[in-house]
A and B are shown apart, each in its own frame.
Chain A
Amino acid sequence: MSHLQLKSLTKKYKKDTVVDAVNLSVNEAETLVLFGPSGAGKTVLLRLIAGVVEPDAGTVEIDQEDMTEVEAEHRGLGMAFQNFALFPHMSAFENIASPLRAAKLNKNDLKERVGDVARLLKIEHVLSHMPRALSNGQKQRTALARALVGEPPILLLDDPLRNVDAKLRFEMRLELPSLLRGRGTTVIYVTQDYKEAMALGDHIAVLVDGRVVQHGSPEDIYLRPANLEIARLFGDPVINRFEVNPVAEGENVSVALSGIELPLHGAEPSLSGTACVLGIRPEYVSFVPENVPGSIPVNVEAETPINEKIITLAKTTGGRELLVSRPARTNGPDSGNAFVTIKPGSGLLFKQSSGELLHGIVNTQVTEAVA
């Protein structure tokens, strides 16, 4: 239904540039996820799109029409907030009905549409309650209902599952995609949870300090993060990092890790001598039964099951810490000496000083390792 475009959108608070010349574009019926740590400017960006905050520079275009000067109440968007932002002095029904009342819809149609949306979100039975009588989950569903009831062409969701307990969060993460995809709505979804980002987004824009640092499909970001910080944020448990110095022998570049030489196929020889950080995701490290050539000796320190994985903390002979991830209910050493190998082609090489990606995974199918 709508094509949203942000051009050089900028917002400053006093000396702080909170949103820095952001360029983004979303096609109709797509879901764009805005991902980033707190303070990255995601919420401010949403507010700029919604029109409740005025930008210092740049434009917001909807369907190629410049909306920057248009007041929020005329933009026809829907938004759900992290803290629900329900009107405390109105019932759930009235909260949801609010956009319809603004459009001056007649009584019967209004009642019907509120009922429909409430049924969809399974909160019919609490429509007459006041917000303080609702549980967090019900509040969140009411907030979503309010955003959806007007059938807006563009939906802005500001980390809606953040303040909802873990179990409910999981449930809603399953429901949301069907809710959103079915309506053909264009969605901008803000989250700090990378799993949510990967599950919900058609494409993801990573925001750090107000700037879009990377924009691409979930796989792009997971497999080829633009810098070390993104690699760290996108992955659970966090990616293993080793400081290394690539050495070139003719056309071949390799790095040394605990005395084992790891070849970096396709890397540029000019990398030699640059201080780098080698990033290897725990799921690409696996235990091997014995001292296979090319395996790294480690000492297992601790092991803990988390959700569907088992995480092992190990230390190399050089004293470097290493996390290994394997699926639950598989066997592995839980203490003492062991050996690990690294999946070929799974290394990410980052420049140490700037963190940017120098050489990454190429031509490898890793979808099965994605959480």
Chain B
Amino acid sequence: MITSNKTEADRTDRNLAARCRRGEMPAFEELYRRHSGRLYNVACRMTGSAADAEDLLQDVFLQVYRRIDSYRGEAALGTWLYRLAVNACLDHLRSHEGRQQKATDFIEDVEGLEPAANPSWQPDRALDRLDLESAISRLPPRYRAAFVLHDVEGHTHDEVADMLGIEEGTSKSLLHKARLRLRAFLGGGPADDAGRPAAAATGTGADRRRGER
């Protein structure tokens, strides 16, 4: 049933794309209606700002309108749109690297990372939504993209790989590191990409709450 729905959605998208190529504005508006929500959510979580996400959404759809001729249907239209959106987000984050990003955002080694000041995640209890949102916003951009697309949006690794223009194995690796980094930010575990306790590696207390258990 899911496959059938997906096939039907793909067919609708292809028809819309064909109509957009002919310059039909109602088709473009329908395309926006179908996809803007999901792209906006990705942009919100990638940039951490509703205003930036709206600006990026606008830019992406203007780009879509101008580049729809270059979409040849080799990938699902949704994948193509995600690719444009994620690339726009990554470009945006790169261009704001100096003034907006926290120092840790582009560090891809993990020593010395500390959990959030007052993480409320307690063992065996559900994560606080705001803590998780905040931790996601601290991930390096590529980790964040992989995590948002796979864990939040529910895409498979081959879809994520297609959207990010990377190998499937790289997508898996980024997601693994992102999850471990989030766990460390949330005070739930070691700040080591290999899963080793940070305390053992650095002598600091990133795993202190676990140690207290």
Do the two shown chains form a genuine complex with each other?
no
